[in-house]
Amino acid sequence: MARRKPKGIWRLFRTLGIALAVLVAIPLLLTPLYLFVDPISVPMLERYVTGRPVDRQWRDIDAISDRLKAGVVLSEDGQFCRHWGVDLGALRDEVERYMAGEDARGASTITMQVARNLFLWNGQSVLRKALEVPLAIYIDLVLPKRRIMEIYLNIAEWGPEGQFGAVAGAERAFGIAPDRLSWRQASLLVTALPNPLLRQPGRPSAGMERIAGVIVQRVGEYGERAACVGAGGRLAL
């Protein structure tokens, strides 16, 4: 006579199944709402819960400098206007490097970064990267490119004291609104994105100045690749 599995095992499986279903349902339900509702990110929520300050003022995409938008695209994700949330070529290269035991280089698109900040966690992890891919594809399917960029520019961390979004970043660094950024200011803000806790665009290092110059040059040469985030599909650069 076969032994019956303890009821505790079935309860565990059922609990895990319910938890997984909830985790899947959250982005499926929230992403369509973000067509109209302005979201907060997981890092912002973490700071709220732990009582730390959060400085974020939402700003519509047309009230943010086209120079900043173009700089973000050309620096963070040059294929943003062309791919479906995931840059398959860059992702394939990343997988090959991982399988070969080499250091990771990222391969995160802007949409994947939005997925991570809205629904996942920070820190290098193969599991997190695997979850980012379907989430990014779903987000790109549901949200237009301009809305994805608008969310990104309003949830990106831009300072060490809880500054999130282009408004807080521009005000902290230069004391101005994000629609008044010069080329130098916009490109320096972009250079801070990989490490906003340490890189200070208001007091840039020589390395940041050099990278900012490269970003300006890249936008000058390939700015049309970011046209999808401009009003009417055009950027006023």
Confidence of residue 124 (pLDDT cuts 50, 70, 90): confident
Q: Please state the rounded mean pLDDT for residues 130-158.
A: 96
Closest CA to 230 of 34, 78, 68: 68
Phi, psi of 217 (to 5 degrees): -65, -40
Separation CA 192–CA 200 (nearest Å): 7
Cα distances (Å, whole numbers) of residue 99 to 107, 126, 127, 132: 15, 12, 15, 19
Please give the mean pLDDT across all residues of the chain: 88
Task: Please say if the pLDDT value at position 1 is more than 50.
Answer: no
pLDDT at 168: 97
Residue 78 near residue 214, CB atoms below 8 Å: no
More confident residue, 92 or 38: 38
What length is written for the chain?
237
pLDDT at 92: 62
Where do the domains of the chain lie, and which CATH numbers do they carry? 59-233 (1.10.3810.10)
Cα distances (Å, whole numbers) of residue 216 to 8, 172, 179: 61, 21, 17
Residue 164 near residue 56, CB atoms below 8 Å: yes
pLDDT at 16: 63
Phi, psi of 84 (to 5 degrees): -105, 45
Closest CA to 27 of 84, 91, 111: 111
Q: Please state the rounded mean pLDDT for residues 196-223.
A: 94
CA contacts within 13 A on the Cβ side of 92: 3
pTM value is: 0.88
